[in-house]
Amino acid sequence: MANEDALRLLCFIGFFLLFLLGEVIFPRKKSFIPKKKRWFGNMALIIISQALIPISLVEASVIFKNKGWALLKDCPLVLEIVILDLAIYFQHRLFHKVDFFWRFHSIHHSDLELDTTSALRFHPGEILLSWGIKLILILSFGISALGIIIFEVLLNTSSMFNHSNLRIPRFLENILRVFIVTPDFHRSHHSMRKNQLNKNFGFNLSFWDRVFKTYQKVSYEDQERIVLGLVKKRDIKDQRIWSLLKGPFY
Ligand SMILES: [Zn+2]
């Protein structure tokens, strides 16, 4: 295994366990569904998705380096990461806007509760589509291998953090959400209500939603009243791995 893959895996496991422990000690919302009903499907999806990715983005960037595609050569590392984060924000909006993409992304939204494992719950079709979009971006802009590694670690970590059921003190949450996407910031994006579902698309920086007018703040008290999931998929059977896999096709 290459060093960068080992580093990514180590960060992933470390933060996964940290957020799981955090949400057990400081839970934000009460859980009503047995974990085993959701966790198997959520974790199986990421294992299947990872097995299907043909080549890592880092390997692709190394193979295609100096092939003349790069629009931004010798771009500062920070700018590379900001560009990728902005791209992910618009990709997320695209996945809500276009029916074909929504069929896949809706599997992520059909989770009836949110916790750290929800960050793993993406249909393999969405992972492959997202991989293809990121590959085009990386090759077009000439994003460095280091930029990709840092961004992927950041994206995985922030995604587990903002899907977690971690209770953050109100004063701290108010400060953090100015800069980054917090669990309270992202939770309303998983609301059953459409006016909340189509807001707060950011994954890392909370800045983009404010700039592009998709930001919505749900009060600390109203967070308790958010009903998570989709209107049409309320049955516990919809959480089974086979239902999740065939979801986009019926
Ligand atoms: Zn979404």
pLDDT per position as a tens digit, 166-218: 999 999 999 999 999 999 999 999 999 999 999 999 999 999 999 999 999 98
Answer whether 0.95 is exceeded by the pTM: no
d(CA 181, CA 185): 6
Cα of 69 to ligand 1 centre, how many Å?
31
d(CA 250, CA 244): 11
Q: How many domains does the chain have?
A: 1
Cα of 189 to ligand 1 centre, how many Å?
7
Cα of 217 to ligand 1 centre, how many Å?
16
Angle made by CA atoms 129, 95, 234, in degrees to the nearest 5: 110
- Which tens digit of pLDDT belongs to each residue from 75-123? 788 998 999 999 999 999 999 999 999 999 999 999 999 999 999 999 9
Cα of 108 to ligand 1 centre, how many Å?
7
What pLDDT was estimated at residue 71?
A: 66
Q: Which residues contact 105 (CB under 8 A, 6 or more apart)?
A: 95, 96, 122, 123, 126
Instruction: Find the domain containing 228 and state its range.
Output: 3-249
Cα of 184 to ligand 1 centre, how many Å?
15
Cα of 67 to ligand 1 centre, how many Å?
34
Token reading at 211: 């700039």
Cα of 200 to ligand 1 centre, how many Å?
9
Cα of 172 to ligand 1 centre, how many Å?
25
What pLDDT was estimated at residue 202?
A: 96
What pLDDT was estimated at residue 69?
A: 62
Cα of 106 to ligand 1 centre, how many Å?
7
